[in-house]
Amino acid sequence: MNSKRLLEAITKTEYQIMGHTRRDTQVLQKALNQLDGPLDSDMYGRGKVIEDFQEKMANYLGKESSVFFPSGTMAQQIALRIWCDEKDLKKVAYHPLCHLEIHEEDGLKELHQIEPILLAEKSRVIDLDDVVNMDEDIACLLLELPQREIGGQLPSYETLASISDYCREKGIRLHLDGARLLEILPYYQKTAAEVCALFDSVYVSFYKGIGGVAGAILAGNQAFTEQSKIWKRRHGGDLISLYPYIISADYYFDQRESKMEAYYEEAKELADKFNQCSLISTVPEVPVSNMFHVHLQVAKDRAEQILAEVMEETGLGLASYVRPTSETSCTYEVSIGDRYATIPKELLTSTFDMLDEKLASK
């Protein structure tokens, strides 16, 4: 009942804790404005604009080659298909809450007849034991870093390295869903190439922490990326021109790559503010990237009312939705971008004081 009020309240706020800017046409406009005059369009995957960007990303990720895709959904189904064909085994393993399992309408199963083996409990990330104790033979293991649906949790770097060693030893391909790869590098204190060296293939998104229009890069060895181009055409992903996505991806990559450390520090600061409020906790308690989930021990409707009141009274946007987790609890996701740094510190303090008071007297 209060969900409409919540949405209306956030649209009227002057400041917001989440994201970079409004998602409107200015995002593309700004990226196009920095070009010095016209640039030839890419044509079906060829041309300077796409080839230069693919080379830049392959270098950044420390891989032989990379291919630009319109979406991560397309890129990852294709990556898993290639690894399954290589082993002539249509089985992969991944987390029960990974993007492929819950957000892609079973594309992997329906389009490719690939059977997923679900590893680990939903509430935690995949550990080495889950992989070692798996009964099934698989062609590929997919790790989503960070694991978005559980607040963006991460395994330790040592665990990642041990999973990678084990997979290499057993002839299992390791694929990285690195939709938010840049966002986790400050926590691991590693370069993108160092993390990607543990994996055979990697996908990175350009519209999450980077904040472009849309688009994805799939990287790996040359033979892998060449095959991915064939599948991209089969999937209808070889659009005659992808340059609006590429130009925005490139522009915002350059703008924001170096800001990931700041977003991560700000996420930790903000999570601490939430954790100091009555009836609120965050997952993870201390974020390991720019994102976390806020859990409120309050029924959804009441939480919406309180959050809307706080936003109406302070002008600081805190949430646009909340999702029930039980009759008496709810949750929502926070991810930090450019906006957080613009919020006056006193406004943050007074807003969280008000939120705490309202929750304490609920």
Contacting residues toward ligand PLP, per CB under 6 A: 71-73, 99, 144, 148, 177, 179, 205, 216
* Distance of closest approach, residue 298 Cβ to ligand PLP, in angstroms: 27
Half-sphere exposure of 135 (CA within 13 A, CB side): 1
* Distance of closest approach, residue 72 Cβ to ligand PLP, in angstroms: 3
Q: Phi and psi (nearest 5°) for 230? A: -65, -45
DSSP-assigned letter for residue 41: P
Question: CA-to-CA distance for 57 and 54, rounded, in angstroms?
Answer: 5
* Distance of closest approach, residue 125 Cβ to ligand PLP, in angstroms: 13
Instruction: Using the minimum distance from each CB to ligand PLP, give the nearer residue, 66 or 314.
Output: 66
Instruction: Using the minimum distance from each CB to ligand PLP, give the nearer residue, 333 or 357.
Output: 333
The answer to whether 15 and 314 are in contact (CB under 8 A) is: no
* Distance of closest approach, residue 210 Cβ to ligand PLP, in angstroms: 12
The answer to whether 74 and 105 are in contact (CB under 8 A) is: no
Q: Which residue is nearest to ligand PLP (CB)?
A: 72
Residue 57 exposed, middle or buried by CB count within 10 Å (0-12, 13-18, 19+) = buried
Instruction: Using the minimum distance from each CB to ligand PLP, give the nearer residue, 97 or 298.
Output: 97
Contacts of 276 (CB under 8 A, 6+ apart): 352, 356
Instruction: Using the minimum distance from each CB to ligand PLP, give the nearer residue, 144 or 356.
Output: 144
Neighbours of 168 (CB within 10 A): 13
* Distance of closest approach, residue 171 Cβ to ligand PLP, in angstroms: 25
* Distance of closest approach, residue 146 Cβ to ligand PLP, in angstroms: 8
Instruction: Using the minimum distance from each CB to ligand PLP, give the nearer residue, 28 or 279.
Output: 28
Contacts of 146 (CB under 8 A, 6+ apart): 152, 153, 154, 180, 183, 184, 288, 289, 291
Instruction: Using the minimum distance from each CB to ligand PLP, give the nearer residue, 179 or 296.
Output: 179
Instruction: Using the minimum distance from each CB to ligand PLP, give the nearer residue, 333 or 353.
Output: 333
The answer to whether 114 and 80 are in contact (CB under 8 A) is: yes
* Distance of closest approach, residue 263 Cβ to ligand PLP, in angstroms: 16
* Distance of closest approach, residue 289 Cβ to ligand PLP, in angstroms: 12
Instruction: Using the minimum distance from each CB to ligand PLP, give the nearer residue, 99 or 293.
Output: 99
The answer to whether 83 and 175 are in contact (CB under 8 A) is: yes
Question: CA-to-CA distance for 14 and 167, rounded, in angstroms?
Answer: 49
250's enclosing H/E stretch is helix 243-256
